[in-house]
Amino acid sequence: MSLGSVPLKYKISIDRDQCMKCMRCVDNCSYGVYRIEDDKILIDSRKCTACHRCISMCPRDAINLQEKPVDYRSHPLWTAEAREDVINQARSGKIILAGMGNARDYPVIFDRLVLDACQVTNPSIDPLREPMELRTYIGKKPAKLEFTKNNGDIDLTTKLAPNLKLDTPIMIGHMSYGAISLNAQLSLAKAVAKTGTFMGTGEGGMHEAIYPYQDHTIVQIASGRFGVDIDYLERGAAIEIKVGQGAKPGIGGHLPGEKVCADVSCTRMIPLGSDAISPAPHHDIYSIEDLAQLVRSLKEATNWEKPVFVKIAAVHNVAAIAAGIARSDADAVVVDGFKGGTGAAPKVFRDNVGIPIEAAIAAVDEKLNDQGIRNEVSLIASGGIRNSADITKSIALGADAVYIGTASLIALGCRVCGNCYRGLCPWGIATQKPELVNRIDPEIGAEHVANLIKAWTLEISELMGAAGLNSIESLRGNRERLRGYMLDQGLLDVLKIESVGA
Ligand code: SF4
Ligand code: SF4
């Protein structure tokens, strides 16, 4: 018995009067939608992923893409997606994989938060005329500073913990070489060096092409420990232990063997073509005490000179876990919300497990303050941050800085088609195929990503100026400058903010 085929997701058509047969669509589509037969371009719409590469490259705007050209009978419960998942799993018997972030239509809390602005009684600040301080330090802060007088000079005697100094509160999160291409990673590395900030290497070592930018990298250690040795630890400006990821809390990672080319295998220190499977837990971490041991071992190995971060997925008891991390000698806790992106995750995890980053930031900041340990760690938020307003709201909720991921890939061309796990990314990002990787020029890619960071940094200063604040320190955890719009009382209580009009 055949289950038949599911309807087309996308339908591609070409305006043949406009088409000049330049063949760019044929050359650019890595999914094989277009082919030539008898001098005619034939189209197989079933292979289309809506990556928009062909549309972007067509010089005549001749290509038309239509979403859902045929649909099922509408039904509020048995949506097209629910029906197709059942059909596909009845056919394959397999877990469904998906790329990018949570695709459910949950309300976005950021869009229901509004920022304050000064009017009449409290003057706003013009960032074009007055200095604005967006410099951000990530790491432990001393509870108090002690000084001694020395022949008329004043010396600081408090020993300061190592901190990362950022010119903007925006960093780029961890996307490993293997998950993304070297040219994509190199573009990000050049961009963070240009803008005075940092990027994560992801799990999987550091390629030597990134060495010139190592002072702007945070090296990651995940449960597979791929690519980790003392040289790797010493190269990074900071070290991050990844315990969990917002897109797939509670499970490990899987880089398919097809993406493990010779270069990736050397960088990850694994055999060529082998699957890189990171286990769900770290097999040496079963308690905060175990975590503290690993944190201290990493500090010991690097002379206590580098801050150590711990990254967790935002889950129900995120605040209590973060408080434990703050007591483990870690210097920063990274919390990744359930809208965080990924190259590949089981769809059921991506869309159903975890909590939104907005609630997690507020809960963690509140818990650390309540326990008097807020200065012990910085709080870095990630997972679904789309623009400068999301960043400003994250900081007002209590974050020190943010990681962006998907937004930086969109700046490199990504169209969020969600097919990263197939290794055929036509934009040269989530692929290791040389002919596709070469589509990214790292100099141009770096310029685009740096432009995005600069533009968002400017917008953050404008938003702060409008609220009468001239330093990021004054914005941090300043929930008085936020109001909730169309949020229920339960969520307002969690976010510790008032409703609009209050
Ligand atoms: S890219 Fe546009 S103009 Fe060129 S062959 Fe394809 S449809 Fe025609
Ligand atoms: S990185 Fe490439 S494959 Fe992944 S969502 Fe973006 S365009 Fe699609």
Point out the residues of the chain with pLDDT beneath 50: none
Which pLDDT value is given to residue 282? 87
CA 401, 407, 411, 412 torsion-angle sign: positive
Residue 451, φ and ψ in degrees, nearest 5: -60, -45
Q: Whose CA is nearest to atom 1 of ligand 1?
A: 58
Which pLDDT value is given to residue 113? 98
Query: Closest ligand to 184 CA?
Result: 2
Residue 411, φ and ψ in degrees, nearest 5: -65, -20
Query: Closest ligand to 57 CA?
Result: 1
CB of residue 62 inside a 6 A radius of ligand 1: yes
CB of residue 19 inside a 6 A radius of ligand 1: yes
Residue 297, φ and ψ in degrees, nearest 5: -60, -40
Question: Binding site: which residues?
Answer: 19, 22, 25, 29, 48, 51, 54, 58
How many whole angstroms separate alpha carbon 177 and alpha carbon 265? 10
CB of residue 343 inside a 6 A radius of ligand 2: no
Q: Which residue type does 480 have? A: E
H-state helical runs in 205-276: 230-235, 262-268
Which pLDDT value is given to residue 256? 73
Please choose from 24, 40, 53 the residue to mutate so as to test ligand 1's pocket, defined by most ligand atoms within 8 A of CB.
Answer: 24
Query: From the CA of 9, how far away is ligand 1's center (Å)?
Result: 21
CB of residue 417 inside a 6 A radius of ligand 2: yes
Which pLDDT value is given to residue 274? 80
Q: Whose CA is nearest to atom 8 of ligand 1?
A: 19
When computed from its CA atoms, the radius of gyration of the chain, rounded to whole angstroms, is: 24
At residue 65, the 3 state secondary structure works out as: strand
Which pLDDT value is given to residue 210? 97
CB of residue 414 inside a 6 A radius of ligand 2: yes
Which pLDDT value is given to residue 5? 85
